[in-house]
């Protein structure tokens, strides 16, 4: 099974080394694991707003790979920011990665984990702004492989009951269709992010959006735990595979040197 979204301690909000993340994933039946540490240029917390030290991370990755039972890959979770896009893209040219995971955390300069993002406007408008920013990113970011956690705006949303928080297809059918069609036309992979499953919530994107992606002809899904601690590494992946299978998907992607490979879901679940 494939887990192509984990954070090592090269991310400011993560706790464990690459070796620890890999050992834990191996125990959960993960065969392919990709480190996607944070780069969030323009973020107000400076520890996120820079690339990891290339020399250190490459060296540690090589060491972890040499001893790992799991096939390891090096990527980055590249948080888009249209105001800083030129800087992000020009720095990426100096990196040789297996996987570019594009994500979006900030809408209009505010991270959706910040309670202020949800103030002074109704839920409908708040989610709409997120979706519009996401579409702009999917269309205009020049160089990525996978598209992370559609629905991130719902992860820290304050609405009650909590079951109201996940972003669903009904929250913006027109924009969501445009995002999904963009990913299909640009031949990108749609991430099924399982981190919500660890907290009793749902995947990102939520099932109604995944179903719509399938209806539109989307086939390229990629699974990620988004684990920030070794105890979560690989943990929700089996459940993501089962969900994908129930929706009619046959394969999960992974990337090596930016080239896509496919794994049969049926075989992986045997
Ligand atoms: Zn993220
Ligand atoms: Zn992440």
Residues around ion ligand 2, judged by CB within 5 A, are: 77, 226
Identify the band that residue 25 occupies on the pLDDT scale cut at 50, 70 and 90: very high
Expressed in angstroms and rounded, the spacing between residue 150 Cα and the centre of ligand 2 is 12
The Cα angle at residue 90 between residues 226 and 84, in degrees rounded to 5: 70
Expressed in angstroms and rounded, the spacing between residue 250 Cα and the centre of ligand 2 is 25
Rounded to an integer, the average pLDDT of 207-215 is 98
pTM across the whole model: 0.98
Q: What is the pLDDT of residues 241-256, one digit of tens each?
A: 999 999 999 999 999 9
Bond prior to 13 in cis (omega within 30° of 0):
no
Q: By the 8 A CB rule, do 76 and 94 touch?
A: no
Expressed in angstroms and rounded, the spacing between residue 7 Cα and the centre of ligand 1 is 10
Structure tokens at 31: 């065969």
Q: Residues 180, 184, 189, 191: what is their CA dihedral angle, to the nearest 10 degrees?
A: 20
Expressed in angstroms and rounded, the spacing between residue 269 Cα and the centre of ligand 1 is 27
Enumerate residues 6+ apart whose C-beta is below 8 A from 144.
78, 100, 101, 102, 188
Q: Helix 123-140 vs helix 173-185: angle between axes, to the nearest 10 degrees?
A: 20
The domains of the chain, with CATH numbers, are 2-269 (3.20.20.140)
Q: What is the pLDDT of residue 66?
A: 96
Expressed in angstroms and rounded, the spacing between residue 226 Cα and the centre of ligand 2 is 5
Ligand nearest to the CA of 35: 2
């Amino acid at each position: 099974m494939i887990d192509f979204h984990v954070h090592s301690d090269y991310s400011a909000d993560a706790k464990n080394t690459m070796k620890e993340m890999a050992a834990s994933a191996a125990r959960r039946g993960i065969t392919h694991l990709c480190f996607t540490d944070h780069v969030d240029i323009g973020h107000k917390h400076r520890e996120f707003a820079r690339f990891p030290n290339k020399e250190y991370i490459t060296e540690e990755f090589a060491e972890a790979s040499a001893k790992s039972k799991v096939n390891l890959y090096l990527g980055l979770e590249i948080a888009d920011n249209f105001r800083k896009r030129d800087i992000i893209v020009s720095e990426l040219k100096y990196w040789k990665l297996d996987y570019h995971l594009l994500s979006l955390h900030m809408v209009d300069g505010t991270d959706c984990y910040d309670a202020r993002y949800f103030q002074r406007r109704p839920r409908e408008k708040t989610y709409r702004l997120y979706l519009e920013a996401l579409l702009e990113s999917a269309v205009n970011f020049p160089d990525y492989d996978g598209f992370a956690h559609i629905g991130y705006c719902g992860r820290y949303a304050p609405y009650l009951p909590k079951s109201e928080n996940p972003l669903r297809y009904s929250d913006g059918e027109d924009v969501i269709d445009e995002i999904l069609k963009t990913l299909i036309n640009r031949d990108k992979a749609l991430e099924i992010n399982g981190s919500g499953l660890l907290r009793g919530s749902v995947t990102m994107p939520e099932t109604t959006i995944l179903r719509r992606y399938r209806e539109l002809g989307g086939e390229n899904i990629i699974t990620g735990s988004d684990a920030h601690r070794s105890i979560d590494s690989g943990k929700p992946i089996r459940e993501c595979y089962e969900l994908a299978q129930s929706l009619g998907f046959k394969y999960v992607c992974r990337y090596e040197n930016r080239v896509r490979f496919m794994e049969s879901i049926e075989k992986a679940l045997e």
